[in-house]
Structure 1
Amino acid sequence: MSSRILVAEDDVRQAQVLRMYLESEGHSAVVVHDGRSAIDAARRQRPDLIVLDVMMPKVDGLDVCRILRTESTVPVLMLTARSSEDDLLLGLDLGADDYMTKPYSPRELMARVRTLLRRVERTAAPDDGVLKVGAITVDARRHEVRGASGEIVPCTRGEFTVLSAMAAEPGRVFTRKQLLERTRGWDVSSTERTVDMFILNLRKKLELNPRRPTHLLTVHGVGYKLTAGPEPAGD
């Protein structure tokens, strides 16, 4: 699958390494070295994905992400030398879809790129409103959740809202704040602790072993993600 990738990285050498890896996988890469150019290129090129460094001249990556997220849903993979939890959470709260801390392996970055691009394909969502992630099915029109055996699993409105958001983008890491924003439209009293309770209850309803979840996973220090479950063992 060939995609247009925008690389916004002020380290010229690192940017060229990324370009080489992207082009070796058949993608076309546009490289810029400052935040203002990143905004202009994103608007002009309409890329399928943006690899965005945080520390850039003119406009930093966090502001670039904030600006572009008001205009587009393009996936953003953020690169940061900042390793503190607050900085990583800020990037995700601004709308970044994934992040990597420097130094990083270019091969791992390519794997993240492939994952994000596959997610974009999946979220060109089905017309029937049914989302399926592994053994879990979420039917938005019927407001139904089904588990592994196909039985209807009763969910509260909050649980359904959180699960629907995660099912629309399987594999994406959501912060508690991002999930909370999904529920605020109908329950202004919700808190981030409420999100933890929604996840806990959903695990009890959907996981074979809620203490060892395989679908609703915790990403420590960040939040939660929904996956299809463990890959089948090879021969």
Structure 2
Amino acid sequence: MTEKIQILVVDDDAEIREVIQAFLRNEGYRVLQVENGLQALTILKQNPVDLIILDVMMPHLDGIQACLKIRQIMQIPIIMLSAKGEDMDKIMGLTSGADDYMIKPFNPLELVARVKAQLRRNKLLHHQTGENAIAIGDLLILPDRHVVKLREQEIALTPLEFKILLLMASHRGQVFSAKQIYESVWGEEALQSESTVMVHIRNIRDKIEVNPREPQYIKTVWGVGYKIV
């Protein structure tokens, strides 16, 4: 079945792209190549892609920004590549929406193994849910069924709580102000929305976070709003 799987390789280094392509094609995958994030966004609108291998340091639109934009339109596996091995760089990559992170130079065979693992995970996820599920860490959101699961356990959310969580999860990494959340979820003009939204965010955190005081999913961007990472 690998001949039907198409992988997009995004890297400004042509030699690295060719090496990755050679190893992936040896496994039977089809490969598309581009050299920056802007080209990646264009090709994603024109071609079906099952997985993206995305470099961080690129001209025009780097991997972090590209990943954030991709996550606004689709939820497919993204493996990020970077010459930076610091913990903070890795955290930034994963926070932007990447599913995996590898440090350059890397073993192409290990990259292929990680590609296979991500494809298996994504296939299993869709097989289990039968719908366009959203998976973030241990959190699983099933939009069609209005179901949220945390570590396989179903979480009881109110309809408004579910809408808020789905809004942010569908735009992973994007910061939403209380006004934006209110107008999107309640469908009316936000006059005194901040306290209302804050209460609902607190209730959601109480249900999905291990420690609501140090949330892992719904982050507060002080002075701006909230986002899911």
Shift of 1:37: 0.6
- For these two proteins, the number of residue pairs brought into alignment is 158
- Alignment CA distance shift 1:119-1:189 (3 Å): closer
Instruction: Report the equivalent of 2:84.
Output: 82
Aligned residue type for 1:164: E
Task: Give the drift of 1:46.
Answer: 2.4
Contact 1:75 1:96 in 2 (8 A): yes
Matched, 1:186 2:188: no
Output one character per residue of 1:30-76: Cα deviation in whole Å (capped at 9) or x when no partner: 01111111111122112000000001111000010000000000110
- Residues 190 and 101 (structure 1), Cα distance of their counterparts in 2 relative to 1, 3 Å cut: farther
- Report if the CA contact (8 A) 1:65-1:96 is conserved: yes
> Per residue, is there more helix in 1 or in 2?
2
Matches within 5 A, 1:81-230: 81-126=83-128, 161-164=149-152, 186-188=203-205, 194=211
Residue 54 of structure 1 pairs with residue 71 of structure 2: no
User: Distance in 2 between the 1:109 and 1:128 partners?
Assistant: 28
Contact 1:7 1:15 in 2 (8 A): yes
Partner residue of 1:26 out of 20, 25, 28:
28
Question: Pick from 7, 17, 20: which aligns with 2:19?
Answer: 17
- CA gap 1:13/1:70 in 2 versus in 1, 3 angstroms: same
Go from structure 1 to structure 2 and tell me whether the alpha carbon gap of 1:81 and 1:192 turns closer, same or farther (over 3 Å shift).
Answer: farther
Amino acid at match of 2:12: D
Structure 1, 27-36 or 185-194: larger mean CA deviation: 185-194
Structure 2: runs of 5+ lacking an equivalent: 132-139, 154-172, 174-199, 216-229
CA positional deviation for 1:20:
0.5
What is the TM-score with the length of structure 2 in the denominator? 0.60
SS of the counterpart of 1:56? coil
Question: Which stretches in structure 1 are left out of the alignment for 5+ residues?
Answer: 130-137, 144-159, 166-177, 199-235
Question: 1:34·1:56 contact (CA, 8 Å) conserved in 2?
Answer: yes
Q: Give the residue type in structure 2 aligned to 1:80.
A: S
Over 3 Å counting, the alpha-carbon distance change for 1:162 and 1:197 in structure 2 is farther
